[in-house]
Amino acid sequence: MERSKVTLFSTLLLFGLISFGLNHFHVADGSGHAVTLIQKYSYYYDILLTIGINIILAVGLNLVNGYTGQFSLGHAGFMAAGAYASSWLTLSYGYSLGGGAFATTFAFVIALLLGGVAAAFSGLLVGVPSLRLKGDYLAIVTLGFNEIIKGVIQNCDALGAQRGLGGMAPSTNFFWTYAFGAVTVYVVLSLVNSTYGRGFLAVRDDEIAAEAMGINTTKYKVLAFVLGAFFAGIAGGIYAHFKQFIHPEGFNFMKSVDVVVMVILGGMGSTAGVCVAAALLTILPEVLRYVSHIEALPEWLRHIAENRMILYSLLLIVLMLTRPQGLFGAVNLKRKKA
């Protein structure tokens, strides 16, 4: 455990140094003016932060779907709860502590944590009555809850309703995105590898046997749901303060499916695999977009790449047929057998 804490601290320090370099190292742009690395490579920086946000979402959902063996389709709803709660807090009270860099950063972090708490509370509301359900029934309930959250936001004028909510300060940067990503990975791995956390794996492997051994399976499922929702809320707050504008349609059913695909592709119960899958599935659509604009390529190939979402789906189908256990699923199985 001490080694993992040292690794976490070293990782946070590394992310801090990278973030400092991105913000303060200057290079020349096309006109010869000195700009920061972020300003020159803003497109790649956008992708980089999106990868970090997706890692937080996927690792949090992996605790529910992978380690506990449940099936949730409402993760985007928890992301929306965190995004709107943190945005409302910073818009309403963001400058009450002052306008300095330290004050605004402190307000941003507090808003993120409170947004995570709001999402966790939402997870508790849906978790307690519904997690006695299993399989398809649980998936349907969580999907319905996702639509309920979206419907509430669409009819709440204080949250922008159908107009969307904008004007948030651009507080999200590389450090905060990947620092929360590292903390999410650390918490999930520390939890499932602890003596207490073995209850999650017991629920996944054989829920009836776990109940026979005296394990409160409902408690473990609700806890996994609440923690997963908390991290989704954090990711939502980071996303909102990065894009500076959010709309209810950005947290629809397809967003939940995207995160579920990351978990399945990476390997259910494999944190490393989920992180890799989150990065791959964020980059792949952009690579296909780039290929579709390369004029040197044959026209038929560019037309295929233009329909990148179809090709993207076909690639996922092929991968699921060839490696149904996910990218890193077999690694976990070998480790368990050893």
pLDDT for res 329: 66
333 has pLDDT over 70: no
- pLDDT (mean) for 112-128: 90
Q: What is the pLDDT of residues 262-312, one digit of tens each?
A: 898 888 888 888 999 999 989 988 888 888 778 787 887 777 777 766 776
- pLDDT (mean) for 63-69: 87
Q: What is the pLDDT of residues 70-113, one digit of tens each?
A: 888 888 999 999 999 999 999 888 777 667 777 888 889 999 99
Give the per-residue SS3 of the chain. CHHHHHHHHHHHHHHHHHHHHHHHCEEECCCCCEEEHHHHCHHHHHHHHHHHHHHHHHHHHHHHHHHCCCCCCCHHHHHHHHHHHHHHHHHHHCCCCCCCHHHHHHHHHHHHHHHHHHHHHHHHHHHHHHCCCCHHHHHHHHHHHHHHHHHHHHCCHHHCHHHCEECCCCCCCHHHHHHHHHHHHHHHHHHHCCCCCHHHHHHHHCHHHHHHCCCCHHHHHHHHHHHHHHHHHHHHHHHHHHHCEECHHHHCHHHHHHHHHHHHHHCCCCHHHHHHHHHHHHHHHHHHHHHCCCCCCCHHHHHHHHCHHHHHHHHHHHHHHHCCCCCCHHHHHHHHHC
Lowest mean pLDDT among 14-18, 176-180, 232-236, 270-274: 270-274
How many other C-beta atoms are found inside a 10 Å radius of the C-beta of residue 247?
A: 17
32 has pLDDT over 50: yes
pLDDT for res 24: 87
Query: Would you list the domain boundaries of the chain?
Result: 41-322
Class of domain 41-322: mainly alpha
- pLDDT (mean) for 135-143: 80
- pLDDT (mean) for 120-142: 79
334 has pLDDT over 50: no
